[in-house]
Chains A and B, each alone.
Chain A
């Protein structure tokens, strides 16, 4: 039972991370290869505030998310106007820089050995609840005016500009929202494992989330959630295959990109009616 709870908690945190990628990659088509470093910022800021300054947990969450957004602003402002490739490169460099800082400020962050002794404030209810709230936020995002503008931007940036959409502001908003959300995922992560070290937050983590979004279907929120559920829980259950985990991921994604480039669901969203239909067809088959 304990294992199941921990798997579900980790999956909820992964879902939050994947949704933050969905907002930036799925909605606006930008790539962040340093998304995990925002998670590091969240985890370390909140951890330091609580353990060193004795700050109450909720206040620490708010400050950590603000920190995530602030760093997002520092990275985003100069690069968001440029070609899409630059965002990927700069966020990648940002991830390296953050890891270097964490590794070198040994007196504050514990360096490469990590920061231990965080109290375990996160539980399944908090993580699961947060995941649900984030899903709801992303859904509202997608169906709002903002989301429709993003769709236009992703499909054709020039056309979107020419009908008067402020492309730069739109991209920056998406980037900041996703940075804040990832920082929050980092807080939950740190206060669940009670221990963090810089190595957890390398670019492979960010790439894993991007892969999950693509696995589910680039434009589909439910697709992203389903794939986070599948790809997030499977390796936890198949612990013995942990060495091969990423290899299996990568091969799966290569196959999907080559033979079903739209991902599991493509642009479609899974609706309650779909699930009902699926169940009734099963019943008929039985």
Chain B
């Protein structure tokens, strides 16, 4: 046990002395997460709209008046259809409306009328949401008599704010990547310097050394997570914490060991720090894509849905979102804890036997 603490404190000290590693970890847990959370835009913002009005105003002006700041820049008039198409071609305008000359006439007579829309589908999400906005506005002018009213209640995230969601997802991905890379680097650096051979020859149980080394890295990342919650997620994005904070920390620690297991495996197969970076990306990317971080699990192909069961990150993300947004109690979190622990044990033991080889 004494050996554990000696190795553990030596690793923490080495980490603190490495300016590069400390700054990478601090960056990843603050700036990177802020950028991911604040920078992601799904709603339209500053969208440029152009229009050609052959109808002579009135209804067309009424419709256009709905498009205003901050989502849209005041619509820009164009003299002809050709000029508008040209502008869209040149990326000066994202969405173009064309009001035909009989647009208002037909509407007043109660007949069907047409509004032509040109959209730049290369900026798919922004232009398509603009289109949805337009449809909603048109809907108001249609004066349809349907005996149905929609009343929506948004649960867990009343403002439908996706910033805190994106920031949390980024945090969980950062945790994964950092634990894998840090753990792998700790071992590979010793391999590069040749100290790992000396370590294996010491009259101590190499398993204890491996355990102490990987635990130190898991702890460093856990501290980073707490910093990130305190300095970025809670103050900047108002991420709710509806469940127990300690449940989340416990889940993070357990998840940390399954990632450390992957790190041990990476360290066992790579010769230098360069290879660690390459291997980590190759191994981590499918793990992150299959976790539901970017695409919800139910939207995946059934084959991928089944594969995602083997990604510990899946259980970690679902579990964490339940804790933060849904405020799920510990008993209902057990499946997530179970998934993370089970995969963690398998991965960690595998990495453990890979690295601690002595003949």
* Chains A and B are bound partners: no
Residues on B facing A (Cβ under 8 Å): none
A residues adjacent to B (C-beta < 8 A): none
